[in-house]
Amino acid sequence: MTTIATTTPRTTHADLQSWVDEVAALTQPDEVVWCDGSQEEWDRLTTQLVENGTFVRLDPAKKPNSFLCQSDPTDVARVEDRTFIASEREEDAGPTNNWVDPAELKATMTELYRGSMRGRTMYVIPFVMGHLDATVPMFGVEVTDSAYVVTNMRIMARIGTPVLQTMEELQAPFVKGLHSVGDPLVDGRPDVPWPCSDTKYIAHFPETREIWSYGSGYGGNALLGKKCYALRIASAMARDEGWMAEHMLILKLTSPQGTTHYVAGAFPSQCGKTNLAMIEPALEGWSAEMVGDDIAWMRFGPDGRLYAVNPEFGLFGVAPGTGMHTNPQAVRTIEQGNSIFTNVALTDDGDVWWEGLSEAPPSHLTDWKGNDWTPESGVPSSHPNSRFTTPAKQTPMIAPEYDNPDGVPIDAILFGGRRKTTVPLVYESRDWAHGVFVGATLSSETTAAATGAVGVVRRDPMAMLPFIGYHAGDYMQHWLDIGAHADPAKLPKIFQVNWFRRDEEDGSFLWPGYGDNARVLKWVVERLDGTADAVETPVGLVPTPGAIDTTGLGIGDEQLAKALRVDVEDWKAEVPLIEEWFARIGDRLPAPLADELATLKEHVEQA
């Protein structure tokens, strides 16, 4: 780590240097630090964060090299209502994104950034999403006044000197990500543990591939490589260049016979991606390995198949609900340390705890707001969107293919969400266009991953509603175009799953989920191989009663039948909701999707 005056040229990458100079002149930090990504830099920053009261160092015997961070209670999730796609033309942002004229937004935000880093250090983080040795490495640079961001970025992305050197050699283009917590230290005011501002903007300029983020220090608002670059900006790049940037886990599955399949799954935030990516199959002989848990970039390979890479380097996982009985792989990953925990509770012996980590809560904790907590407190000890940031490579079940810059060929795509009713445990789409319809009409109950109401059903196309960097109708068309470009036999088959259906009588989950989801994966794989039975229903192909392997399953046939049931009345009620959604997309709704809706309507009316 080198401290420099803002005017000292630090890189031979001319465009980067002039941008950094420009940002420093605007934001007026006390110093500019170029991040090298080293262990020494991590040690220095984490020590400094402990001294500032931002981090608590956990007991190294329990969680080596790990830290707890409690954010400002107002800055705990992505802020969708403050997230903007500032495309040149309003119609290109579409009906699902907030839009402001880019010149106007830049003018507004420039005034916010003016002097916003006073009294602080400005860090320059060169990073690459995906592999540095990819055919086209995808560079970015985040400039930030948050050391919390730097430490999290070091876990979540490949950062530092090797990246900068390659950028310099290639004089490579890069995505510019400007981030400020918006809390300058002026008039001798001391710092607070979690600086942020009540004014927040998470702004994207898709044409110029720029990100301007202001006012929040949290996750997807502030770690700009993740949602802002790898989904919103990359989705616009992918549309222009014929590939796909998707909100998907990537899983490698090996059957008892030793055949391997790669499955991608798009579920909205807090709907089970990380859990499925780390599944320990409940079925004898099946094994699973993780390639990615949140984002997939997919491109056609020379053989005409779709290949997916995980552009990330770490996991930013939801803590509550993560325990040995649900996601043992995640527990083993974080136990190795080198992790940051945000908004969970602190135990009296210097470890972390959250709801679901163990069955019996400790008798005393310091909760995520810093208050004394006991099981009698009557409030959760951890925020529902509390997170662990941990290196992907520490996952015991990481697939060796994670290191392959060419990625893995995807055999099946799962779309899933949280639906208490209507959507069966699993069904298969009839073909690509029908599968795109299933994805385009995906719906889910909202979660704590974003600020706002929880538990409200909304349409979330391909689980990308908060992450599409352009018009949602054009995005659906891009999916159809991908299909049109390919040999249908080489395209992944598309399925919908729903782990969250409830029993109408007692409200309990009909399906045990987690490791038992392997039973659904087995059916999916057998459908690919043409060996599993399915029955046609108005919505698609559902497993026949005997087609799901129930060996050792803790639920009875009757309950399984409820989980799989396609209720025509439910679907009759679903059709107008889909019509309403498509009406919102407007005249950029692709005609084949309107045709698919007409077919669904016909099917449910005839059933």
Q: How many CA atoms lie within 13 A of 460 on its CB side?
A: 24
Check the annotation: does 78 bind a ligand: yes
Check the annotation: does 218 bind a ligand: yes
Residues that bind ligand PGA (CB under 6 A): 78, 219-220, 226-227, 269-270, 294, 316, 449
From 260, 509, 577, 594, residue interacting with ligand GDP (rule: CB under 6 A): 509
Known catalytic residue at 271: yes
From 514, 523, 571, 581, residue interacting with ligand GDP (rule: CB under 6 A): 514
Q: Which amino acid is at 387?
A: R
Nearer to ligand PGA among residue 10 and residue 232 (C-beta)? 232
Which of Mn ion, ligand GDP, ligand PGA, none lies near 252, with the C-beta cut-off 5 to 8 A by kind? none
Which of ligand PGA, Mn ion, ligand GDP, none lies near 603, with the C-beta cut-off 5 to 8 A by kind? none
Q: Classify 592 as helix, strand or coil.
A: helix
Q: Classify 172 as helix, strand or coil.
A: coil
Check the annotation: does 383 bind a ligand: no
Locate tokens 């009316």: which residue?
605
- Stretch 229-268 residues interacting with ligand GDP (CB under 6 A): 267
Locate tokens 């014929």: which residue?
242
Per-residue binding string, ligand GDP, 261-290, x by CB under 6 A, is ------x-xxxxxxx---------------
H or E element, residue 474:
helix 472-485
Q: Classify 140 as helix, strand or coil.
A: strand
Check the annotation: does 435 bind a ligand: no
Which of Mn ion, ligand PGA, ligand GDP, none lies near 509, with the C-beta cut-off 5 to 8 A by kind? ligand GDP
* Contact yes or no for 273/414 (Cβ under 8 A): no
- By C-alpha distance, which of 328, 300, 339, 310 is closest to 129? 310
Angle, helices 472-485 vs 591-606, to 10°: value is 90
Nearer to ligand PGA among residue 277 and residue 542 (C-beta)? 277
Which of ligand PGA, ligand GDP, Mn ion, none lies near 219, with the C-beta cut-off 5 to 8 A by kind? ligand PGA
User: The dihedral of CA 435, 439, 443, 447: what is its sign?
Assistant: positive
CB 348 to ligand PGA: min, Å: 29
Check the annotation: does 294 bind a ligand: yes
519 Cβ contact partners less than 8 Å away, ≥ 6 residues apart: 282, 283, 548, 549, 550, 553
Nearer to ligand PGA among residue 340 and residue 449 (C-beta)? 449
* Contact yes or no for 139/167 (Cβ under 8 A): yes
Which of ligand GDP, Mn ion, ligand PGA, none lies near 343, with the C-beta cut-off 5 to 8 A by kind? none
Nearer to ligand PGA among residue 23 and residue 223 (C-beta)? 223
Check the annotation: does 242 bind a ligand: no
Check the annotation: does 387 bind a ligand: yes
Residue 171: both structure tokens together? 């004089």
H or E element, residue 413:
strand 412-416
Residues facing residue 140 across a β-bridge: 127, 175
Q: What does DSSP assign to residue 571?
A: H
Q: Which amino acid is at 183?
A: D
Q: Which stretch binds ligand GDP (CB under 6 A): 168-176, 179-187, 393-401, 506-514?
A: 506-514
Q: Tell me the Cα Rg of the chain.
A: 24
**Distance, CA of 164 to CA of 249 (rounded, Å):** 28
CB 270 to ligand PGA: min, Å: 6
* Contact yes or no for 50/350 (Cβ under 8 A): no
- Stretch 300-329 residues interacting with ligand GDP (CB under 6 A): 317-318, 320-321, 326
Q: Does 389 bind Mn ion (CB under 5 A)?
A: no
Nearer to ligand PGA among residue 248 and residue 547 (C-beta)? 248
- The count of other CB atoms within 10 Å of the CB of residue 323 is 17
- Stretch 262-281 residues interacting with Mn ion (CB under 5 A): 269, 273-274
Q: How many helices (H) and strands (E) does the chain have?
A: 16, 32
Integer angstrom CA distances of residue 261 from 108, 289, 331, 520: 49, 11, 25, 14
CB 6 to ligand PGA: min, Å: 30
CB 228 to ligand PGA: min, Å: 9
Residues of this chain that bind Mn ion (CB under 5 A): 269, 273-274, 294
Residues of this chain that bind ligand GDP (CB under 6 A): 267, 269-275, 317-318, 320-321, 326, 499-500, 509, 513-514, 517
Numbered residues of the known binding site for substrate: 78, 218-220, 269, 385-387
Catalytic residues: 271
Numbered residues of the known binding site: 78, 218-220, 227, 247, 269-275, 294, 385-387, 418, 514-517
